[in-house]
Amino acid sequence: MLAANSPAPARQGGASSTTVDNIVAAATELFGARGLRGTTIAAIAHQVGLTDAGVLHHFSTKSAIIEAALERGLQQELEQMQEMLAPGGLEAISRMAQWGAVVEQNPEFTQLQIVLSAEGLGADSPFHAYQSRRYANVHNLVVELIREGVDRGEIRAGIDADWEASAVIAYLDGIRIQWFYSGRQLPLADAVRHYFEQLIDRLTP
């Protein structure tokens, strides 16, 4: 799914804090592969070449690591999104076709997002509210693009923007799962491009 949340404070050190970066990268990978609960601090530490205590020196708690991993991924996605959707309206929508390629380049974080969306399903999960907001944000963003398209006369007036937005997001959410279960054989980028061609056909007069 698309990312659209939280401004993200950004590490102030600027340059070298490599160990912290390594930890976050390893965590992202493992969280995606084994789930949050299935990933132990020790496992993360091992991957970076530290001991548990070494990791806990940088992040004093496991949730801190989770948050950092999320933040980093969102930050990355946000940047890509902004330049992708800058034109607005139909043009922006047609550019979303590149989304498949983005996922293919970022499998670890994509996996983490899927896992999080599953772990947040229960209304009492600590991630539920967070994910709810994320979905709402993305939904609104797409609705906005469609309305903009209608205003510009690029998109037909009769379109149900809400339903279309849900449909697009659902397709993207669903297809990336199939990509993983196809052993990453499914031509994700092509499929998504095809989807958007068809979508634009339906949206334009």
Residues that bind a copy of itself (CB under 8 A): 32-35, 37-38, 111, 114-115, 117-125, 128, 131-132, 135-136, 139, 163, 166-167, 169-175, 177-178, 180-183, 186, 191, 194-195, 198, 202
Q: Which does 74 bind (CB under 5 to 8 A by kind): DNA, a copy of itself, none?
A: none
Question: Exposed, middle or buried, 176 (CB in 10 Å: 0-12/13-18/19+)?
Answer: buried
- Give, for 2, the enclosing helix (H) or strand (E): none
CA atoms of 80 and 76, how far apart (whole Å): 7
CA atoms of 101 and 99, how far apart (whole Å): 5
Shortest separation between residue 119's beta carbon and a copy of itself, angstroms: 6
Shortest separation between residue 87's beta carbon and a copy of itself, angstroms: 25
Q: Which stretch binds DNA (CB under 7 A): 58-66, 84-92, 125-133, 172-180?
A: 58-66
Residue 34 binding DNA, by CB under 7 A: no
From 98, 107, 96, 40, select the one nearest 73 (Cα to Cα): 107
Q: Would you list the DSSP string of 107-159? A: HHHHHHHHHHHHHT-STTSTTHHHHHHHHHHHHHHHHHHHHHHHHTTSS-TT-
Shortest separation between residue 196's beta carbon and a copy of itself, angstroms: 12
Shortest separation between residue 110's beta carbon and DNA, angstroms: 22
Q: Which is nearer to a copy of itself, 93 or 179 (CB)?
A: 179
